[in-house]
Structure 1
Amino acid sequence: MQHHEIRTWHVYLCPKCNASEPPKDKYVVTVCRRKDTIWGFFINTPDSKFIRSHPELEKQQVKIKPDDCRVIRYESNIGCDALKEFYAWELSKRECALSDALKQAILSSIESSDTLETEKVQIIKDNQDTP
């Protein structure tokens, strides 16, 4: 995809995502479009033992359900604890737009974040209406 085609507050597929270890297909919620890159959060499986054992990370997981997006097969988590950076060419297919309720849940989660830099949180908040 081209940079200008990426819309914020949408779910995209990132095939063989290099931001994942090991690289694998990941769904990404885009939250901010920067000059050359796009910031986003991974959609993860809900039963991560690692997340459950770290309460500071668990509180930054926003639930997303199959009714919220057609590619979600079961209740999952938007991992708002780890902001990822992507180039437009890494994102291949727009799957769905997020509801206002999910956008607000993500914004609330990052406002109380222990893991995200305050400056990045403010940039996301300032750019939340960017297409």
Structure 2
Amino acid sequence: MAVLNLTEERRMAFASLARDLETIFGERFVALVAYGPRASAAFAASITVADLADAARRADAWRAANLAVPLFVTPDEFGRSLDAFPVEYGAILRSHRVIAGTPPFEGASVADGDLRRALEVLA
């Protein structure tokens, strides 16, 4: 795994996003993981419609900070969907930075067969 390099400005923007997510999810917050200069995944133990509505109200501020609205996912859902999104999730696993919280990828990996199948479909 390569650690994603971020500028100080990007780190500060992601840190602000992490604080918002900690407010939204409270004790259910697991981690904010950056996987690009604007892209991130917000991990929570559970995610409700009310959480997403709260996030939607904050989305304009995130965009103003030049951040994309994060992917919202539980660690379990991420693990169960590695076969469905092997290219996308494989890229996240290969290069990311945990901004806040506990690293959510313990033991996660993309199976070679899933990646091969996805690449054949894309070809």
TM-score of the alignment, normalized to the shorter chain, above 0.5: no
Give the TM-score normalised by structure 1. Answer: 0.26
Q: Return the structure number with greater strand share.
A: 1
